[in-house]
Chain A
Amino acid sequence: MNNIDIISDSEFISDLENVVDNDGPFSSWELFNMSYQVEKATISEKFDGLKALDFLPQIEFLPHQVDTAKQAIEQMNGRAILADEVGLGKTIEAGLILKEYMIRGLVKKALILVPASLVNQWVNELNQKFYIPAIAHRKNYSWEQYDIVVTSIDTAKRSPHREAILDIDYDFVLIDEAHKLKNHKTKNYEFVRGLKKKYCLLLTATPVQNRLIEIFNLVSILKPGHLGNYESFLEKYGKDRKKIKQDAFLKQLVQKVMVRNTRKETSLSNTKRKIESVWIDFSDEEMNVYQELDRLVDGFASFSKITLLREMCSSREACFLSLQKMINNEPNKLDRLQPIIQKIEQLPHHAKAQRVVDLIKEIGDEKIVIFTEYRASQLYLQWYLQQHGISSVPFRGGFKRGKKDWMQQLFKNHAQVLIATEAGGEGINLQFCNYMINYDLPWNPMRLEQRIGRIHRYGQEKDVNIYNLAIRGTLEEHIMKLLYEKIALFEQVVGHLDDILAELNINNFEDEVQSIMNNSSSTGEVKIKLDNLSAVIHDVHNKADQGAQQYGN
């Protein structure tokens, strides 16, 4: 065949002649032969298969992870969307793919773009698990200098980095949390389109959040034209995301560039979730204050009322701080609020905190993660646990990367409990721990799922135990009963919740619940409205389930 380029080694023979002319240095027979044996052991004799598995005997890959890597390389030729559900190991799959390309000598220069809070985690994982010498970008590093660089998209797209990066021919580009690229008019999108790249992986758990055009935009980064051009796509599918179900052809096309594994289909469901609702009663004094607060703040903006009540269910401190803040902002409220502040100050320890201590003692000598919505509660809990001889470390989204890693280590090696606030949920892997206490429940089930995903994920070997705490006779009761118990959201629905909400045209679940709370004049009305909401979600989910998977495979 004539159309194959043959590229020869042009230097070898003149180098050999030089060495012979100079009478050495010559390799001994043993070393010369060993060098040949090394090559024999490391070449890839076949086009297919994963050579990397031989090189990573210490990692136990799950079957779906190996399949995904093979599919991305062999069928998708190295340009793919990895869209597994949270916690199934997208990082592992991506690491395996990168390793394979490096072993085969197809990738030397790689750029890995991840959220800023995850940079260190990626670097560690690639180095320690995969022996890939990745480094985090630091201020004075040049982009040319290092081969495998991890950084955030926000850093990369800023001048002067932007210009330097766009100048480099990358063999491999990876983008984590790629759903942030769903809009083609953003700077991020334009930047990623501009990168010179050979292989490219996009990682996201939610490839389609709202509109079908999002998947078009993601695919166009990998394989422009695969789903037609912008105009023809819009014309054919409009902005409606339902069409992906109806259009078998489109589904097929998407499957050619996207792999999606779900919890249901993978062996991960071997470790189960045991979810237990823990009901707590306020003490009489606490209940009095709660009810007084409810009456008192009736005239306030509904948002602050609900916030105060939620905070009261969490800790005196959280509620107290908000009240203080209100007074600082509007000194004229001082008279109305002063009495209740005084009452709060005199309350004994929070009933929930006491229950948490009991619960920890019942669980025994195990690592436990506690999630709370409020920083004040986090501090209070840490202090309260310490009073009872329970060691804990705090964890917040605002921590610098180094501090996050340090806290994670402290928890692993020294402390029994990690107390995290919501924003800290992203970017920690706690699969060595299988107990979780949700001190207060988020109003969006997706966020609870993300919390649980911190421990119920790839690498978890035991069943995970989750305790959801709620105080009877408060708004927590509604949330617990209607959102969590009734919908039985967790395993079945939550994976699809994004899709379901989009179909219902609900952009923000929390806002929806908030507005129900605000706009209802009685507890009965709240109940009915939440009931309706859960019924609708159930309904849509059942329909979606019948249609099996919508996309992916």
Chain B
Amino acid sequence: MGIKNLDQFLYDYFNAHQCEVVDQIDGRLTVQLNEKMDRALMNRPFYWHYIKKMGQPGDPMKLTLITDHEDAESQGEKIHFGSPRLQQIWNHLRDNERFTRLFQVIHTTTNTALHPWLVVNVKLSYIGKHKKDELFSIGLNLVNGIMKTEMMEQLEKHEFQLKVSDYCYTISPIIKLSSGFKRIEAVLEDYIKNQEHQWADQSLKELDNEMKLLNHFYETNTEEEKEQMEKELQEIKERYTPKVHISIINGGLFYLMQ
């Protein structure tokens, strides 16, 4: 499970968006939004449209979020897992934090080489009668082709920034991003193919079963109902045909010290 502490998560989020946290106690956080975040979260496009038309800078709102369910006193929005505000913040992250290029922060006075890695966070969704997801974080060294899993967990131990640290230099990738990605995809597909897929067998069985029932249902029926049957057949296939979706959450180029 990610997000162990919602207070911390919110603090980090607004901090990373350069919004000043005006007030924070346990279970409550007040933040002064900046224009960018007001536009992203407060849902008042007309305000920004007119204020800009009038040549004014505008007045971003303050937002108070309450994570403590017991707190009935404080003025502000309750926020919890599943609440619309948190959903909005999550979607904002999903939409905007897709790509990156980061350099490991190194405090050094000697020349240090940084190796290029392609890091991809992937979600595999197994969809049949039911659905489940599996998360992977995969890193590929674009010089020597070494591949690692649980990459994010390893990266968390370091610091990163958007530009190269002093005295550091980067090594040019030998493997292109797209061919690197193909290697990762191939590994994932192997991984998928080498599993036992009981869930898929069960789905196919159910598919077969319902198709038989359908045939029986229309056994004595006329030509006219062919269309209806065809429609229902499609629905059954749609619902039970097993498939695996590979979707990329986010990814980027990371320069790391060996």
| A binding-site residues for B, Cβ under 8 Å | 1-9, 12-17, 19-20, 24-48, 54-58, 73-74, 77-78, 104-106, 131, 193-194, 196-199, 220, 223-226, 228-229, 231
User: Does B41 have its Cβ within 8 Å of any Cβ on chain A?
Assistant: no
Q: How far is the CA of A108 from the CA of B251 in the complex (A)?
A: 26
CB-nearest residue of chain A relative to B254? A29
CB-nearest residue of chain B relative to A74? B130
Beta-carbon contact of B2 and A13 below 8 Å? no
CB-nearest residue of chain A relative to B131? A104
Sample of 11 more A-B contacts, CB < 8 Å, known A223-B210, A223-B213: A9-B248, A12-B98, A27-B97, A31-B93, A36-B2, A43-B135, A47-B130, A77-B206, A77-B239, A131-B82, A231-B220
Instruction: Enumerate B103-147 residues with CB–CB distance to A below 8 Å.
Output: 120-121, 123, 125-127, 129-135, 137
Q: How far is the CA of A380 from the CA of B101 in the complex (A)?
A: 76
Beta-carbon contact of A1 and B9 below 8 Å? no
Beta-carbon contact of B93 and A38 below 8 Å? yes
Min CB gap A493→B, angstroms: 37
Range for the number of chain B residues in contact with chain A: 35 or more
User: Does B249 have its Cβ within 8 Å of any Cβ on chain A?
Assistant: yes
Contacts of B127 in A (CB 8 A): 106
Q: How far is the CA of A58 from the CA of B82 in the complex (A)?
A: 10
Beta-carbon contact of B99 and A15 below 8 Å? yes
Beta-carbon contact of A40 and B251 below 8 Å? no
Q: How far is the CA of A17 from the CA of B181 in the complex (A)?
A: 11
Q: Which of B42-50, B54-62, B227-235 contacts A (4 or more CB under 8 A)?
A: B227-235
1/0 per residue, CB under 8 A from A, across B213-224: the answer is: 111111111000
Beta-carbon contact of B100 and A32 below 8 Å? yes
Q: Which of B28-36, B154-162, B164-172 contacts A (4 or more CB under 8 A)?
A: B154-162
Beta-carbon contact of B252 and A27 below 8 Å? yes
Contacts of A42 in B (CB 8 A): 90
Beta-carbon contact of B83 and A26 below 8 Å? no
| B binding-site residues for A, Cβ under 8 Å | 1-3, 9, 12-13, 15-17, 69, 80-84, 87, 90, 93-94, 96-102, 120-121, 123, 125-127, 129-135, 137, 152, 155-156, 159-162, 177-178, 181, 185, 189, 192-193, 195, 197, 199-200, 204, 206, 210, 212-221, 228, 231-232, 234-235, 238-253
Contacts of A38 in B (CB 8 A): 2-3, 90, 93-94
Beta-carbon contact of B102 and A26 below 8 Å? yes
Task: Give the dominant DSSP class at B's interface.
Answer: mixed
Contacts of B156 in A (CB 8 A): 33
Min CB gap B193→A, angstroms: 7
Beta-carbon contact of A220 and B250 below 8 Å? no
Contacts of B83 in A (CB 8 A): 131
Contacts of A55 in B (CB 8 A): 81-82
**Among A9, A31, A36, A57, contact of B96 (Cβ-Cβ < 8 Å):** A31
14 A–B contact pairs at CB < 8 A?
A1-B193, A27-B96, A28-B162, A30-B15, A31-B17, A32-B102, A36-B152, A38-B3, A39-B123, A40-B1, A54-B81, A220-B217, A223-B213, A224-B213
Contacts of A17 in B (CB 8 A): 177-178
Min CB gap A77→B, angstroms: 5
Min CB gap B97→A, angstroms: 4
Q: How far is the CA of A54 from the CA of B251 in the complex (A)?
A: 28
Q: Knowing A34-B16, A225-B216 touch, does A131 contact B84 (C-beta < 8 A)?
A: yes
Q: How far is the CA of A19 from the CA of B252 in the complex (A)?
A: 10
Contacts of B185 in A (CB 8 A): 8
Contacts of B232 in A (CB 8 A): 224
**Among B9, B160, B231, B249, contact of A29 (Cβ-Cβ < 8 Å):** B160
**Among B99, B218, B244, contact of A6 (Cβ-Cβ < 8 Å):** B244
Q: How far is the CA of A97 from the CA of B17 in the complex (A)?
A: 36
CB-nearest residue of chain B relative to A171? B238
Beta-carbon contact of A225 and B132 below 8 Å? no
Beta-carbon contact of B130 and A27 below 8 Å? no
Beta-carbon contact of B3 and A26 below 8 Å? no
Min CB gap B11→A, angstroms: 11
Contacts of B181 in A (CB 8 A): 12-13
Min CB gap B200→A, angstroms: 5
CB-nearest residue of chain B relative to A193? B228
Beta-carbon contact of B101 and A26 below 8 Å? yes
Beta-carbon contact of B217 and A224 below 8 Å? yes
Q: How far is the CA of A199 from the CA of B99 in the complex (A)?
A: 35
